[in-house]
Amino acid sequence: MTQIKNELKKDNIRYILSNCVLLRSFTVGGEKIKKITYKNKEYDNEKLISEKKVNVDCNDLQSAQKLFECLKFEKLVEVKYYVIVLEKDGVEFAFQDVENLGLLMEYESLIDFENKSIADIKEEKQKMYDFVKQTGLNITDEQDVQKAYELVNNKFN
């Protein structure tokens, strides 16, 4: 079996990361949460269109990592960040200070994009972006920043 890290190139990062398993540990309201998350991301011209997630609670992430290593999974990147989530009127913003990347803001969408057309998804995402711009927050025009992708991509620069 070829090591995926050896196959990793600047032009295939997004493809390799589009189906990934995350071992996640975070604290919410003082409660420590540990999960295994499978993500399947779909893109249209490098723009994220949809993301399917499956989360499983896991008390022992070290053993989970050993299990995945036995299954020939490889650690590609470790994402470390501090996040504050703010909510008002059903809208959630997650402000993330990502190590080696900087400050990101994520609009937590409550919309289910499953079975939506690419045009519908793009239209809704534009509405979300316009809403964020109207808040007066100083943001860039960049949308769909994926932390793992950016960190791996930085290794090639």
Q: What is the CATH number of the domain that holds 112?
A: 2.40.320.10
Q: Which has more pLDDT, 31 or 7?
A: 31
Show the 3-state SS of 29-54: CCEEEEEEEEEEEEEECCEEEEEEEE
Q: How confident is the model at residue 23 (pLDDT cuts 50, 70, 90)?
A: very high
pLDDT in tens, 4-16: 667 788 888 888 8
Task: Compute the average pLDDT of residues 26-44.
Answer: 88
pLDDT at 1: 36
pLDDT in tens, 46-79: 788 888 889 999 999 999 999 999 998 888 889 9
Question: Is 50 exceeded by the pLDDT of residue 2?
Answer: no
pLDDT at 21: 92
Q: Long-range pairs for 43-47 at CB < 8 Å and ≥24 separation?
A: 43/14, 43/18, 44/118, 44/122, 46/14, 47/122, 47/143, 47/144
pLDDT in tens, 115-132: 788 888 888 888 888 988
Domain that holds residue 78: 4-154
pLDDT at 62: 96
- Measure the CA–CA gap between 99 and 78, rounded to whole angstroms: 10
Is residue 96 within 8 Å of residue 83, measured between CB atoms? yes
Domain count, the chain: 1
Query: How does the average pLDDT of the chain come out, rounded?
Result: 86
- Measure the CA–CA gap between 23 and 36, rounded to whole angstroms: 5
Would strands 81-88 and 47-57 be described as parallel, antiparallel, or unpaired? unpaired
